[in-house]
Structure 1
């Protein structure tokens, strides 16, 4: 399609979004369908123009159908991405339509009046709150856009958001024109099973588009010589200091896996480079919005800078043209690897990456991640219906019924109000545990849950302890908001300086100047334990090492399967449940404790697994290890916790893995080449 055709198709949007420039490939492919009202899933590399591909035709439809109020909800998984998109979209529309774009997050409540607003940017949790408390403000919505959909698919936040989108669509006012249809758009840079994900999120009639080649990856590996793993961040700072001084590279984003290791790295880099041209920043989730945005602005506007971050900067926000991405630790998933390296060199077709390794295992893992990335191999993702998320949805409406509507939630109006007919089992469970009480038909929350509603703490599925604010004693500004459990006294590297953490007698915490003091860095609470490697990464490790991961290998009581942590744990559980062995245990690479002489093949495992998996008969303790426990999981009865745990077992991926395996070698003899169709699980 020519530019003239596009300008005729979008007479109002074209001069705003594409003045004097040619559309990118993904924009050329998708905009004709979006302007006609189709729902679309777009996949393309970073900086390929996905945002404009979605928003430009939606803006044209907003104008063409004479919509007079908020008509587009744009959801992003993080506040940082919301802010980045806000400034980007506002730059297009502020001259012609001031106030047409606004934000609704925990930090910014800018939707005062939906009149004359075109688009709102929101996080999933803030959108849940808005839809619950002010549903009338979303009555005119005719499109929902979900950015970075791969970060939400397969987890509790994603399920929560799908419930909210369903309510927005169901409660949307009838349009004046039958052609003014409701649209759902998803966007991603890395996503497996696009057709399946599209059907789950956007509907069965959605079109999918994938455009643009993945950028080339120029990766260099730098050794870090350490005697103990805990010293790696300190030694890594020295390696990076030497590298920056030698290369003169202006701007870098350094990713690490934990808050504590990144803080140690940032503080030591600051000490080594304090008299240089590089300012050192530390970006992590415990920082307040003001402090995070200050760092993002500095990285965007300063000529030189090094930002050390956790996963908070994985999402595709624009913090300027980053010259190199440094991976201080190997990520534990292919998705995280791609997200991190994608933050650099956004205006070129090459990702420049430095990987720091201190062991042969870390080097092998970096190479396996690179191997997967250049071959388009992605992690397996298992999505399932979580009762704990439904608990959060019922909780929200039960609170609203008493606190806002003065019309209590009942079993009769449950499906209509929540726009979902599947909540009844969870309501029955809540009644059995005392989370709800049936008072003459009204579903009344327990005092504890009602208090959470009044404190506006019920709009998230993310688990977390109560937060403790840390205030800069010199300015009175809150810089840190962290879990109060496990924060030790010492110093924090905040705002390019070391600040002493001081616990006050009234229970508050202050951040004071640490100048001239030699203080240890404070230890921060960990967010999660170390995660095991998935099957795709382990297969890559095997292939790089010259093995065929399709073929299992039996050596004594050890069966090497290359199945990854989850699948091997499930395999071990099935062997135990089926009585094949009495003490099998699984790790990332295989199974230990195989009885001598026992012939175990992928086909036989399928036969043993079939009755166990179909009956959901694994012990709850075994199933629970696969369960990603969201905020309200502990409020469920033990029976319903068990049901959710059984659903969390990654059965489809496990079966697919077994079907890709061809047998077992024992010495020079291969055994077990089976016909997969006959066992009924294909």
Structure 2
């Protein structure tokens, strides 16, 4: 009989004890090639075989969250698992779950899919909740924290804006609850803020935690990684590995990379994936607004196409974002739209500043125009968000990095992609900015600006990126129309 003994090293790692031949099998089973591995210098110099290994053959270590995968591995081969982790099993009963839901007042009631997600997190203790943008993940997070209260909890978010927004959301959820004072219980950490606190709940960006020593994390028992798809960076992985005493690990995200490697690492850090709901289901139920995508393909002159055909990718980007007629077209488009509009750019100095200045000169002074980028402090971002919620015709010119991920503006009618991007995650998250419903909005428009600089048979880089975005719209079943517009120069 082949046996695999599963021991618990800490809340980050398992240790697997088995015969050398089984170790070899595990080593091959839990490995994968990352995207574009063949272009990486170490592989090209033949100093790396191109695989990332999740099982350490030398010490038997493996991420704790992959325990279900180990069990599946053993089951498929009829190996015997001897589980010595002493993990607590058992699901919360209907009576106990109802008692929890009614144990504190909250003006925002969980929808069915949100309640299912909360209950799944309680039952599994480690999981990755896959729920689309605008599905109310912050309310799910709030209820999970309330269930585990008074355990010390860490909520990690990717941006400064989300620290303030998560705090603000918690405050609104707890407004009717005299026993949960957010100001006394929740501590915010971002640039320059005090990191040490006696408060029960800490909300922080990963950037603020990266340099912290391991003992900083020792008190936390619950960690929630919001927008967990960003955890592929070494910095965030380092933080998760430092949380050796946190048995409760919940990741939430609206999107995941299509690469299985990435998903396995996330599941190793948090736990198995649970699909909560889909955008299509929420639109069908009128929980989210409909989205209408208009792809505006700018067709350039032969002269411009010839010039760009000789440029590399970055030079093509520079050509596009500095193109005067293109920027004029964007500003004219924004001016013609009714409702609140979000203009997303990628490069602050080369594009964002130019667009902002042009929009301020173009847009009627009765309409508010805001500029938000990485250098905008968290409080200012939150103030702008709050102001726009009350406006009917405002314009936000913002960087993708700040406003594509997690920013909650319900009263947003139009989104303009002013800069090219092929990232599935970034595009879906950006679309999510327009999916939230409000009293003044039942649908939203996305204007995807693309650039056709085809020369002979050669398509330009950013046009290929546009075709990738079309694939995303098709796979997500978003309706779209393509319009070709000639542009001077």
TM interval, short-chain normalised? 0.5 to 0.7
Counterpart Cα distance in 2 of 1:302 and 1:33 = 38
**Alignment partner for residue 302 of structure 1, among 391, 397, 416?**
391
Structure 1 residue 210: Cα displacement: 0.9
Report the counterpart of residue 236 of structure 2 in structure 1: 161
Report the counterpart of residue 471 of structure 2 in structure 1: 371
Counterpart Cα distance in 2 of 1:142 and 1:71 = 6
Structure 1 residue 103: Cα displacement: 0.8
Q: CA RMSD in A?
A: 3.3
| Residue 278 to residue 199, structure 1, CA distance change in 2 (3 Å) | same
Whether the 8 Å contact between 1:224 and 1:239 is mirrored in structure 2 is no
Counterpart Cα distance in 2 of 1:17 and 1:6 = 19
Report the counterpart of residue 252 of structure 2 in structure 1: 187
Counterpart Cα distance in 2 of 1:20 and 1:292 = 24
Whether the 8 Å contact between 2:154 and 2:223 is mirrored in structure 1 is yes
Counterpart Cα distance in 2 of 1:10 and 1:104 = 33
Structure 1 residue 266: Cα displacement: 1.4
Report the counterpart of residue 429 of structure 2 in structure 1: 339
Structure 1 residue 87: Cα displacement: 0.6
Number of residues of Structure 1 aligned to a counterpart in Structure 2: 344
What does 1:240-389 align with in structure 2 at a 5 Å threshold? 240-247=330-337, 249-259=338-348, 260-273=350-363, 275-311=364-400, 312-347=402-437, 352-360=445-453, 361=460, 362=462, 365-375=465-475
Counterpart Cα distance in 1 of 2:133 and 2:220 = 28
TM-score, normalised by the number of residues in structure 2:
0.62
| Residue 365 to residue 139, structure 1, CA distance change in 2 (3 Å) | closer
Counterpart Cα distance in 1 of 2:235 and 2:98 = 34
- Structure 1 position 35 matched with structure 2 position 125: no
Whether the 8 Å contact between 1:283 and 1:309 is mirrored in structure 2 is yes
| Residue 350 to residue 6, structure 1, CA distance change in 2 (3 Å) | farther
**Alignment partner for residue 230 of structure 2, among 147, 151, 163?**
151
Structure 2: runs of 5+ lacking an equivalent:
1-92, 281-289, 305-318, 454-459, 478-489
| Residue 373 to residue 224, structure 1, CA distance change in 2 (3 Å) | closer
Whether the 8 Å contact between 1:35 and 1:57 is mirrored in structure 2 is yes
**Alignment partner for residue 214 of structure 1, among 250, 255, 279?**
279
| Residue 187 to residue 197, structure 1, CA distance change in 2 (3 Å) | farther
| Residue 10 to residue 278, structure 1, CA distance change in 2 (3 Å) | same
Whether the 8 Å contact between 1:185 and 1:202 is mirrored in structure 2 is no
Structure 1 residue 200: Cα displacement: 2.5
Whether the 8 Å contact between 1:72 and 1:143 is mirrored in structure 2 is yes
Q: Give the 3-state SS of the residue equivalent to 2:353 in structure 1.
A: helix
Structure 1 residue 143: Cα displacement: 1.0
Q: Which structure is larger by alpha-carbon Rg, 1 or 2?
A: 1
| Residue 120 to residue 333, structure 1, CA distance change in 2 (3 Å) | same
| Residue 8 to residue 74, structure 1, CA distance change in 2 (3 Å) | same
Q: Give the 3-state SS of the residue equivalent to 1:140 in structure 2.
A: coil
Structure 1 residue 10: Cα displacement: 5.4
Structure 1 residue 374: Cα displacement: 2.9
| Residue 198 to residue 244, structure 1, CA distance change in 2 (3 Å) | closer
What does 1:515-554 align with in structure 2 at a 5 Å threshold? none
Report the counterpart of residue 497 of structure 1 in structure 2: none
Structure 1 residue 59: Cα displacement: 1.4
Whether the 8 Å contact between 1:252 and 1:306 is mirrored in structure 2 is yes
Once the two structures are superposed, residues 486-509 of structure 1 have per-residue CA deviations (whole angstroms, 9 ceiling, x without a partner) of xxxxxxxxxxxxxxxxxxxxxxxx
Counterpart Cα distance in 2 of 1:123 and 1:39 = 21
Report the counterpart of residue 136 of structure 2 in structure 1: 49
Report the counterpart of residue 534 of structure 1 in structure 2: none
| Residue 281 to residue 235, structure 1, CA distance change in 2 (3 Å) | farther
| Residue 226 to residue 107, structure 1, CA distance change in 2 (3 Å) | farther
Q: Give the 3-state SS of the residue equivalent to 2:243 in structure 1.
A: helix
Whether the 8 Å contact between 2:155 and 2:204 is mirrored in structure 1 is yes
Q: Give the 3-state SS of the residue equivalent to 1:121 in structure 2.
A: strand
Once the two structures are superposed, residues 299-343 of structure 1 have per-residue CA deviations (whole angstroms, 9 ceiling, x without a partner) of 334332111122221111113421111011221322222122221
Q: Give the 3-state SS of the residue equivalent to 2:154 in structure 1.
A: strand
Counterpart Cα distance in 1 of 2:343 and 2:241 = 38
Structure 1 residue 79: Cα displacement: 1.1
Structure 1 residue 118: Cα displacement: 3.1
Once the two structures are superposed, residues 378-410 of structure 1 have per-residue CA deviations (whole angstroms, 9 ceiling, x without a partner) of xxxxxxxxxxxxxxxxxxxxxxxxxxxxxxxxx
Whether the 8 Å contact between 2:267 and 2:273 is mirrored in structure 1 is no
- Structure 1 position 128 matched with structure 2 position 210: yes
Q: Give the 3-state SS of the residue equivalent to 1:190 in structure 2.
A: coil
Whether the 8 Å contact between 2:409 and 2:436 is mirrored in structure 1 is no
**Alignment partner for residue 171 of structure 2, among 90, 108, 111?**
90
Structure 1: runs of 5+ lacking an equivalent:
173-181, 378-682
Report the counterpart of residue 632 of structure 1 in structure 2: none
